[in-house]
A and B are shown apart, each in its own frame.
Chain A
Amino acid sequence: MSMAAVETKKITLRTADNHEFEVEEAIAMEFSTIKTFFDENPDASEDTIPLPNVTSKCLSAIIEYCKSHLAFRARETSSSIDEQVRTYDEEFVKARDNESLKELILAANYLNIKALLDMLNQAVADRIKNKSVEYVRRFFGLENDYTPEEEAAIRAENEWAFEGVDPDDD
């Protein structure tokens, strides 16, 4: 039996802002959207895949994430590995501002990366959960579509709803 050199297959992805990323096949397969595409088009592996909904900033962060998690998974499971994964995830999220988090969620949703999406969703949920209604509106860039009367009634109800509401720190 001959010892063939293992060639790591690379896949090229092109982002919305026209940057091309060459990633190892193993990492590209973490994106369920891409995996499905290749399952249905096995001959397309040489082509560059366009990702019109993902910016280069997002894609580079996502590739980092998938690379790290693949490395974690390759090691034997233990509570210290779990601890390292938790720390990695916390750091990954802590560094991002609210806008980046939202972009990452949309990108992870588009690329269909379940583990990353769950983690990001939890992070955003944590960021908004003990904050005021105004903060949530600002965070998500939302219009208040309630009439002034409806709004007044709502404010009256929510005044003393919670103890320990975190201050809006932005």
Chain B
Amino acid sequence: MTDEQKLRKTEEAADIRGDVLESILCHVPLIHLLPATHVSKSWNHAVFSSLRHFNKPKPWLLVHAQSSRPPYATTALAYDPRSNLWLRINQNPPIEYVSALRSSNSTLLYMLSLSKFSFSFDPLHLLWHHVDPPLVWRTDPIVVVVGCHVVVAGGACDFEDDPLSVEIYNLDTRRWTTCESMPAILKDSAASTWLSVAANAKKLYAMDQVSGVTYSFDPSSRIWSEPFDLRHDQNIYFSAIGYYGDSLIMVGLLGNSEYVKDVKIWELKGESFEFCKEMGVMPKELVVTLKGEQTNLFSIRISLMGEFLYIYNPGEPEELVVCEIDGEGLRWWRSLKNAAVSDGSRAAKRMVLTCANVGLGDLGKAVGSGKGSFSLVDSGNLQRF
């Protein structure tokens, strides 16, 4: 080797790029990849290539913890499973929380007051829409975005109004329309406390969590369907649904609330969801985690986005159960400590959980526009396999 060749070899010695660089980048949390895209043009390329090939972004779990009393101080935390860390999301300017924050499915947050209906369905909940409230006063409706429609159903006080009333806000025309009420059988359960909701781009599905009775609603035709029977196991006493690709995922509690025998997950496919496949069973030690301090398990809520399924007990929000869906079924069952609970304050809090596909672009837009900034929550070792 000539001297020149030897010199070139030493200069190349610690030149980290290509696959080697992309492997390093897959260990860098998504939020820290943002500055990495600004290091140089080749690093910009390496970051995106690394995200595509080595360690893809994974759906974030967003937890809004809100004080139950005015001014309803709210902390917004997010869990990034790709790097197993929690972040605090700070909104600029801070969002005015004028009433109770609610969510009826995985993607949308809303607040309802006498003068305003506010809702947000962007991944980080930094963008809020404020419109006139629906005609019928409601405390706890189901609110779901289906295509360009925001469907607001039920949740009304039945002294004065029809508790099954349905109104749709069209995001394009910015107008409210009243349409066919919910099916009468849901009269006692037409609110987000009792219903589990899943939606795709065309329809929403509402399931009475205790009885299992499920209806779909198409906001374009404004028609409620005939009821579906999704429970193929008679031992289910409580169930919740979510959307996964073209299928509905149903999480069911079997046995009874004093004695939970099992927590199972099914995949339902087909026009009337006639094809039902059991995907898996929650490991017993995680059922114990879900019960927390209690021996009963009355209800669960689920947040489903992409392959990530988060399951939690609203009565015991300290620890959640997480698993991932793949071609074979369910994998990577583990528990996750809820950083919003270990946040120090013992004041009564309402927790609202949503789930979102957060990409580098979303973070870049949030930071670049000044709407959001992020800080790491130092919470120690949270995830146990």
Which positions in A face B, CB cutoff 8 Å?
Answer: 16, 52, 55, 99, 102-103, 105-106, 109, 117, 121-122, 124-126, 128-130, 132-133, 136-137, 140-146, 154, 157-158, 160-164
Contacts and interface: CB of A to CB of B under 8 A. Distances in A.
B346 interface: no
A125 B35 contact: no
Interface of B: 9, 13-16, 19-20, 23-29, 31-32, 34-36, 38-43, 90, 367-368, 370, 373-376
Contact of A137 (B13, B39, B367, B376): B39
Contacts of A145: 40-42
Contacts, number: 90
Nearest to B1: A52
Nearest to B364: A157
B131 to A, nearest CB: 31
B28 A16 contact: no
Given A102-B16, A141-B14, 10 more contacts: A105-B24, A125-B28, A129-B28, A132-B35, A136-B35, A137-B40, A140-B39, A161-B35, A161-B374, A162-B373
A122 B39 contact: no
A136 B34 CA distance: 12
Main secondary structure of the interface of A (DSSP, over half): helix
B25 A125 contact: yes
Given A105-B20, A162-B373, A136 B39 contact: yes
A82 to B, nearest CB: 13
Give the most central of A102, A122, A144, A161: most B CB within 10 Å. A161
A111 B26 CA distance: 20
Contacts of B23: 109, 117, 121
A121 B14 contact: no
Contact of B20 (A106, A146, A162): A106
B9 A163 contact: no
